[in-house]
Structure formats: structure tokens, C-alpha cells
Amino acid sequence: MGTAKAMFLTVEGVEGVGKSTHIETIKNFLDERDIPCILTREPGGTPVAERIRELLLAVHEDEALCELSELLLVFAARAQHLERVVKPALAQGKWVICDRFTDATYAYQGGGRGLDVAIIAGLESLVQGELKPDLTIILDLDPRIGMRRASERGELDRFEREQIEFFDKVRRTYLDIAAADPQRCVVIDAASDLATVSADLLKILNSSLLKLA
């Protein structure tokens, strides 16, 4: 079947919302319709950006990573990712499904860390220009449930070790982003059972295809 129009689709949410599972659902949906796509993630997505990801997630016992350094590393990884992966794929007519993008920066570094959103917006403009996702799916979940799920996966990374208040701020910021940009963002209740979340997701994808037709 296929479609000539490529979409940049991002999936967002706090820890433990099931992003990986639902991204696989999106890929299967597109594969069944012979729509070319790539899966990628942030921070990361290229060899260089993955090294930056390691710096961001590692627990630095000897030297705490300052908040501004964290923000700059996120955008350094994003610049590399956009130039080497996202822009070329979109130019080739492929859908790009990305596990987190700039909304995560506003949520984690802006909401969670309390960094000035004007600084984030300035870096967003510098690194991305006019490029924004066509569709953003925000998987919403009480961080207490999410962190319980994340703890069951194994050792926690530097972000996952934050206090629950941090993740409450992250969640609130995500919901504020969705409310401010309802044309792009769709919120799905990730506390529902897997079948219900998948059904909600498929409705959104079918609607997006209809808009492209």
C-alpha cells in the first residue's frame, strides 16, 4: 500500500509507561501497510549520540553532572541525530518513529530540573530550525506506577534515581505541552490494560493515515 508522505512521530512519557512495547505496535501497523519506517530514540540514535546518552544516564559518583551541562549534552546528541538519521530518513519518504524528542527536554530539563524554558527554546531553534514532529503520542501514567515498573526492569539509571516529586513535575509538563498543542499531541492513558492502550494507539494511527490520504 505505502504512502508518499513521511511522518515524524514521537512517543513520550515518564519512566515505565511502556514506550518500547507501544512503539513496536506502531511499527507493526506500518509494516502491515508497507509503509517504510525507522525506529530511533533520544538521546541516542547514532554511534556518537549513543555515547552522549551513556554520559547522560551514567551515575557519576565522583562528579555530579550540572543541569546546564545535561541540557547541552541532550541538544548535542539531538543535533547529531537529526543530521545523520532523522532528516535523511524523512527525505527518503520514511516515517520516523522516535522514542522521546524535544518535548522530553521541556519535561525533564525544564519541568523536572527547573531550567529556563527560554534557554531550551533557543537551543531548540538553533538545532532544529523549523523541524517539529507531525504527531506526538504522550503515554500518561502516575509516576509512582511507572517507577515501580522501572524498578522491576533492573538497575536504575541516573534519571530513574530521581525523587518522585521530580517525575510529578515531568508529568505535569507533558500534560501542559499536550494542552497547549492539541493539533500535534495526543494523550493516551497508559494505566489501562495493554489491549486498551494498543486499541487507542491504532485509532490515532488510522486517523493520521486518513489525514495524509
- What is the structure's pLDDT at 208? 84
- What is the structure's pLDDT at 2? 46
Counting the structural domains of the chain, the total is 1
- What is the structure's pLDDT at 213? 59
**Residue 2 located in a structural domain:** no
Kindly report whether the global pTM for this prediction surpasses the value 0.85: yes
- In the chain, DSSP assigns E strands to 8-12, 37-41, 95-99, 135-140, 185-189
Q: Which residues make Cβ contacts (< 8 Å) with residue 30, sequence separation at least 6?
A: 36, 37, 95, 97
**Residue 69 located in a structural domain:** yes
**Residue 184 located in a structural domain:** yes
Length of the chain: 213
208: domain CATH number? 3.40.50.300
- What is the structure's pLDDT at 1? 46
Rg (CA), the chain: 17
* Pairing label, strands 135-140, 8-12: parallel
> Which of 26, 22, 30, 42 lies closest to 5 in space, CA to CA?
30
**Residue 74 located in a structural domain:** yes
**Residue 3 located in a structural domain:** no
Low-confidence ranges of the chain (pLDDT < 50): 1-3
Across the strands, what pairs with 136?
Answer: 10, 185
- What is the structure's pLDDT at 210? 75
Domain that holds residue 183: 8-212
**Residue 192 located in a structural domain:** yes
Q: CA-to-CA distance for 194 and 20, rounded, in angstroms? A: 12
> Which of 131, 92, 93 lies closest to 5 in space, CA to CA?
93
Q: CA-to-CA distance for 138 and 103, rounded, in angstroms? A: 10
Range list of H helices, 62-163: 67-81, 87-91, 102-105, 117-128, 143-153
